[in-house]
C-alpha cells in the first residue's frame, strides 16, 4: 500500500474508532462476559465460582420451571405471531384502498407502537380489571358473566397476548403497506382483464410479491415473542400461578430476585441458541422459498 492509502485507512479507522470502542465495551464485552458467567455460580456478593456445565445440566434435567417457562413462551408466540400478522396485513390492505381519512387512521394505528410500554400495560390492566374494567362492561351487553382476565390461568396469557398484538400491529401494518404500494397496478389490471376476481388476484399477485415483507415480519415477530418480558412483568408478574411466567421473566427472576447470575446467564445463552436456530430455519427454508418465488 502507498503512503496515501495508509493515510486514508488511518483517517477511516479514526472515524469508526468511537463506534467500534462502544461496540466492544457495551455489546461484545457483555456478550462474552455473560458466556463466561454461564459456567460459574455467582450471587453478586462473592467471587464467581467455576462450575463448568453444571448450570446447563441443571436447567435441562432438574428445573421444571425452565421447561414450563419455555412452553409458556411458545404458547405466547403461537397466540401473538399468527394473529398479529393476519390483523396487520388486513389493516394494511384496508389502508391501501385509498379511503377517506387513511392518513389519520394510519397515524392512530401507529401511535401504540411509539407509546410507552409501561403506560400501555397499565392502561390495559385497567381495561381488564375484573370489578370495573371496560371489557367486562362490554361483554355484559351480551349477557356474558364478568371474567377475571388477568387472575384466571385460562385467560391471563391470551389477555397479555391481545395487548401485545394491539401495541405492535401498527408497525407491521406500515411494513405491509409499503409492500402493497410497491405492487405494480398493471399486474392487477392484466389479471382482471383475464377474468381473475379480487380474491384470485390477492393470492396469485399480491401475496407472492409481499413474501419478503411477510418473511421479515415473521422473523422479527418470533424474535420479539421469545424476548417477551415487559408486558408480563407489569400486567401479571408471571402469574396467576405460573400461567404467564415466560422465559425472559424466569431469567429476570433468577438474576435479580434469586441472585443466581451464572444460572441466569446460562438461561440467556440457551435462549440465544433457540432464537438463532429458529431464525436459521426460517432463513434456510422460508427465505429461500420467498426469493425463489420472486425470481
Domain boundaries, the chain: 62-294
40 close to 50: Cβ distance less than 8 angstroms: yes
Confidence of residue 69 (pLDDT cuts 50, 70, 90): very high
Confidence of residue 275 (pLDDT cuts 50, 70, 90): very high
Distance CA 184, CA 271 (A): 41
Q: Average the pLDDT over 53-78 and give the result.
A: 96
Q: What integer pLDDT is reported at residue 37 of this predicted model? A: 94
Q: Which residue has the higher pLDDT, 1 or 171?
A: 171
How far are the Cα atoms of 89, 244, 251, 266 from residue 269, in angstroms, in the given order?
33, 21, 11, 5
Q: What is the pLDDT of residues 228-261, one digit of tens each?
A: 999 999 999 999 999 999 999 999 999 999 999 9
Confidence of residue 1 (pLDDT cuts 50, 70, 90): low
Which of 277, 276, 257, 233 has its CA nearest to residue 31? 276
Percent with pLDDT over 70 in the chain: 96
For 62-294, CATH number out of 3.10.20.30, 3.10.129.10, 1.10.3720.10, 3.30.110.30 equals: 1.10.3720.10
1, with CB counted inside 10 A (0-12, 13-18, 19+), is exposed
pLDDT of 289 higher than 80:
no
Residues 6+ apart with CB under 8 A from 77: 222, 225, 226
Q: What integer pLDDT is reported at residue 281 of this predicted model? A: 86
Amino acid at each position: 500500500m502507498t503512503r496515501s492509502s495508509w493515510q486514508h485507512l488511518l483517517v477511516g479507522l479514526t472515524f469508526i474508532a468511537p463506534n467500534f470502542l462502544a461496540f466492544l465495551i457495551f455489546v461484545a464485552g457483555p456478550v462474552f462476559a455473560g458466556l463466561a458467567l454461564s459456567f460459574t455460580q455467582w450471587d453478586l456478593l462473592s467471587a464467581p465460582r467455576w462450575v463448568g456445565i453444571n448450570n446447563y445440566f441443571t436447567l435441562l434435567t432438574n428445573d421444571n420451571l425452565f421447561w414450563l417457562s419455555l412452553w409458556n413462551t411458545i404458547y405466547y408466540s403461537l397466540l401473538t405471531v399468527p394473529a398479529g400478522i393476519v390483523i396487520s396485513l388486513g389493516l394494511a390492505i384496508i389502508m391501501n384502498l385509498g379511503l377517506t381519512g387513511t392518513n389519520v387512521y394510519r397515524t392512530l394505528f401507529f401511535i401504540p407502537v411509539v407509546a410507552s410500554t409501561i403506560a400501555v400495560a397499565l392502561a390495559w390492566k385497567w381495561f381488564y380489571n375484573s370489578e370495573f374494567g371496560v371489557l367486562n362492561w362490554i361483554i355484559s351487553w351480551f349477557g356474558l358473566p364478568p371474567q377475571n382476565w388477568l387472575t384466571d390461568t385460562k385467560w391471563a396469557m391470551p389477555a397479555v397476548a391481545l395487548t401485545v398484538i394491539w401495541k405492535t400491529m401498527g408497525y407491521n401494518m406500515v411494513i405491509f403497506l409499503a409492500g402493497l404500494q410497491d405492487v405494480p397496478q398493471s399486474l392487477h389490471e392484466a389479471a382482471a382483464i383475464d377474468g381473475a376476481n379480487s380474491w384470485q388476484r390477492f393470492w396469485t399477485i399480491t401475496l407472492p410479491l409481499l413474501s419478503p415483507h411477510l418473511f421479515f415480519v415473521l422473523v422479527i415477530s418470533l424474535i420479539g415473542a421469545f424476548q417477551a418480558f415487559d408486558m408480563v412483568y407489569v400486567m401479571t408478574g408471571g402469574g396467576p400461578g405460573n400461567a404467564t411466567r415466560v422465559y425472559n421473566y424466569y431469567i429476570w427472576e433468577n438474576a435479580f430476585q434469586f441472585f443466581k447470575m451464572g444460572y441466569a446467564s446460562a438461561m440467556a445463552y440457551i435462549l440465544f441458541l433457540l432464537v438463532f436456530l429458529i431464525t436459521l430455519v426460517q432463513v434456510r427454508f422460508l427465505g429461500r422459498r420467498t426469493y425463489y418465488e420472486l425470481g
